[in-house]
Amino acid sequence: MPLKLTSQQFTRSRLNRFGFSFGIELSRNSCFEPSRHPVLNSVKMLGGSILWFRHGLRLHDNPALRNAVNDRSMPFFPIFVFDGETAGTKVVGYNRMRYLLEALNDLDNQFRQYGGRLHMIKGKPADVFRRLWEEFGISKVSFEQDCEPIWRDRDESVRATCKEVGVGCYEFVSHTLWDPDTVIRVNGGIPPLTYQMFLHTVAIIGDPPRPVDDVDLGLINFGVLPDSFYKEFEVFDKAPKPEDLGVFLENEDIRMIRWVGGERAALAQMEQRLAVEHETFCKGSYLPTHGSPDLLGPPISLSPALRFGCLSVRKFYWSLQDLFQRVHQGRLSSSQFIAGQLIWREYFYTMSVNNSSYAQMEGNPICLDVPWRQPQADELQRWKEGRTGFPFIDAAMRQLRTEGWLHHAVRNTVASFLTRGTLWLSWEHGLKHFLKYLLDADWSVCAGNWMWVSSSAFEALLDSGECACPVRLGQRLEPSGQYVRRYVPELTNMPDKYIYEPWKAPMEVQQRAGCVLGRDYPPPIVDHLEAAVRNRSAMQELRRILDKAQPHCCPSSEEEIRQFMWLQDVPQPDVATS
Ligand SMILES: Cc1cc2nc3c(=O)[nH]c(=O)nc-3n(C[C@H](O)[C@H](O)[C@H](O)COP(=O)(O)OP(=O)(O)OC[C@H]3O[C@@H](n4cnc5c(N)ncnc54)[C@H](O)[C@@H]3O)c2cc1C
């Protein structure tokens, strides 16, 4: 493998990248008030108010909804526009698309209980809103802030249309705990470079706002789309199926865990999650999904619900804080640590807002130019399809494709396996795959985690040997091997002793288990030990070259690295595959 790191490469990359300073942008929390506009005079003046759903697919803690219905005399149009991008629909697998459509269906059903409906329309948001303005003279469009730069063109085009015709445009921050623009401003115009600096900055800003009150939908005057709309746009009478939008199940459906999208399911899940949190707090602990990862039971994760905004992050955050206070009666101060993972989410969003190259190496000022290899033969495909010959990796990659879900520790393992741990392939390949298949795939959160795990943006480098060994981590997290047996049925009868390293099983054991390597299950794609040693020296070389780098993104401390990567306190040697 050509793993040689040349000093020119890194010096060049440092100069190009770390010389960059983040520009301070004007806040996008805009509020454009309707003015007396000449064109308005020529349209019918029934008035109307649009709530434009993108993320934030909920009724609770929805400041945009409150704003949209504050004048109850106006017809109210809750709308979702299928524009081929919104809510992460550009590259999307079956599971996430279905989750989104279930969330829309849930909103539609909730509105229907009050005589309304969610208008689901295919088209470009600016065109849809312009037509509504022509029909009704709508006077305002309200929406939740989508802070990532990938949404900027879409939002700018809607703002420009609204401005042109004199419609008020109102944007509200409720997808994040703090407004990323405020965090950047308080941090002196650049995003905080470490998580600790981020915590420090938000401590200066103060507690995030509590959720806003629910809206009483009973008194709302729901608008009805004119017939002409049905001719000009594709309007769905009820939430479509993924197949209606050209998204099909790609692989055999061996799903064990079925995630259900929608606000009502998310609120019920949060209650279950709070019961687990309660038990954990009573034991004097916190972060239950980290303390005892359960790869087999029903997941208690809320990340898909948070990603689509079916659950308000502020509601979850404050429910946790209040619960902690109730359990400890003020004897312990909760501060931010009990919601530490939610704050990682904030951190990654904030790092991305002014960096449109955040999800790629090219032109990305916070990402190192690690000279990753080009994929050879079918090795990338084997990683994606779960055919690497490492059972823990293969189980995970198959779970991802079939269910859209992976536990955080498992994500770390497959990510480091693809990048600096074993294969030495670019994190961009992994990101693309995750962005398609993960239920909770979030552009900035996913890219941030990939850069972190691959040491591309936060280069206080770990030794590759500590890079979540694909054998040892499996053995530690799920000693019974049931996780592997669930997703890699070829290994069902492999004895526990060999379940994570079947290459060590003698031939007669393989034959008895009905799983002969090379015939029923692939041999390891690489010699892991050899690769780990080679990668470690490449990373050490990189560290040497970067020794004198200017301040840049990096982990806050060794402790943070260990926690993030699920490493043991005592480093474990890598496992050999031959
Ligand atoms: C390579 C890789 C890619 C990832 N991609 C995504 C992604 O696209 N979307 C996503 O939501 N999470 C992503 N994560 C983070 C993490 O794995 C999931 O958020 C977590 O598994 C969700 O489980 P939970 O709800 O039980 O988390 P908990 O530990 O209970 O945390 C609560 C919430 O905090 C947020 N959170 C937790 N961990 C992280 C983290 N490391 N970074 C940012 N936010 C976090 C999530 O919203 C989560 O629901 C990724 C991690 C890795 C290693």
Q: Where are the chain's structural domains?
A: 7-173, 176-213+265-354, 379-565
Residue whose structure tokens are 């059972």: 391
Residue of 435 and 258 predicted with greater confidence: 435
- Closest protein CA for atom 46 of ligand 1: 303
345 labelled ligand-binding: yes
409 within 8 A of 415, measured Cβ to Cβ: no
Q: For the domain made up of 176-213+265-354, give the CATH fold.
A: 1.25.40
pLDDT tens per residue across span 237-273: 999 999 999 999 887 655 667 899 999 999 999 999 9
Classify strands 119-122 and 234-236 as parallel, antiparallel or unpaired.
antiparallel
DSSP secondary structure of 186-209: HTTSS--SSHHHHHHHHHHH-SPP
Q: Which atom of ligand 1 is nearest to the CA of 412?
A: 53
pLDDT band at 558 (very low <50, low <70, confident <90, very high): low
SS3 content of the chain, % helix, strand, coil (to 5): 50, 5, 45
Residue 293 binned pLDDT confidence (cut-offs 50, 70, 90): confident
pLDDT tens-digit series, residues 182-239: 999 999 998 888 888 899 999 999 999 999 999 999 989 999 998 888 999 999 999 9
Residue 338, ligand 1, Cβ within 6 A: no
pLDDT value for 25: 25
Checking if the pLDDT of 492 tops 60, the result is yes
Confidence of residue 24 (pLDDT cuts 50, 70, 90): very low
Third-level CATH fold of 379-565: DNA Cyclobutane Dipyrimidine Photolyase, subunit A; domain 3 (1.10.579)
DSSP-based three-state secondary structure for 231: helix
pLDDT at 134: 92
Taking the centre of ligand 1 as the mean of its atom positions, its distance from the CA of residue 501, in whole angstroms, is: 28
Does the pLDDT value for residue 28 go beyond 50?
no
Both tokens of 168, joined, read 């008020």
DSSP assignment string, 549-572: PPS----S-HHHHHHHHT--SSPP
The mean-pLDDT minimum among 34-38, 349-353, 537-541 falls in 34-38
Question: Is position 112 annotated in a ligand binding site?
Answer: no
263 lines ligand 1 (CB under 6 A): no
Largest Cα span, the chain: 86
Q: Is 348 annotated as a binding residue?
A: yes
The per-residue pLDDT for 263 is 98
Say yes or no to pLDDT of 33 above 50. Answer: no
Atom 27 of ligand 1, residue of closest alpha carbon: 301
- 225 annotated as a binding-site residue: no
Ligand 1 pocket, residue 400 CB under 6 Å: no
Residue 2 has pLDDT above 50, yes or no: no
DSSP 442-502: -HHHHHHHHHHHTTSSS--PPPGGGS--TTHHHHHH-TT-HHHHHH-GGGTTS-GGGTT-G
φ and ψ at residue 366, rounded to 5 degrees: -100, 0
CATH number among 3.40.50.300, 3.30.420.40, 3.40.50.1820, 3.40.50.620, domain 7-173:
3.40.50.620
Three-class SS state of 298 = coil
Position 540 scores a pLDDT of 82
Q: 10 is written with which tokens?
A: 């890194």
528: pLDDT confidence band, cut at 50, 70 and 90?
A: confident
Higher pLDDT residue, 575 or 491? 491
How far apart are the CA of 435 and the centre of ligand 1, in A?
Answer: 13
For residue 342, which atom of ligand 1 is closest to its CA? 34
| Ligand 1 contact via 128 beta carbon (within 6 Å) | no
Split at pLDDT 50, 70, 90, the class of 578 is: low
Written as six digits, the tokens of 76 are: 């109210």
pLDDT value for 21? 25
Q: What is the pTM of this model?
A: 0.90
- To test the ligand 1 pocket, which listed residue (408, 420, 563) has its Cβ within 8 A of the most ligand atoms? 408
Q: Is the CB of 412 under 6 A from ligand 1?
A: yes
Which class for 506: exposed (0-12), middle (13-18), buried (19 or more C-beta within 10 A)?
A: exposed
Q: Which position has the higher pLDDT, 289 or 486?
A: 486
Amino acid at 560: E
Q: Which pLDDT score, from 0 to 100, does residue 4 have? A: 32
43-60 pLDDT, tens digit each: 456 789 999 999 999 999
Q: Which residue has the higher pLDDT, 508 or 421?
A: 508
Q: Is the backbone of residue 210 left (phi > 0), alpha (psi -120 to 50) or beta?
A: beta
The overall average pLDDT reported for the chain is 86
Ligand 1 pocket mutation, candidates 274, 317, 345, criterion most atoms within 8 A of CB: 345
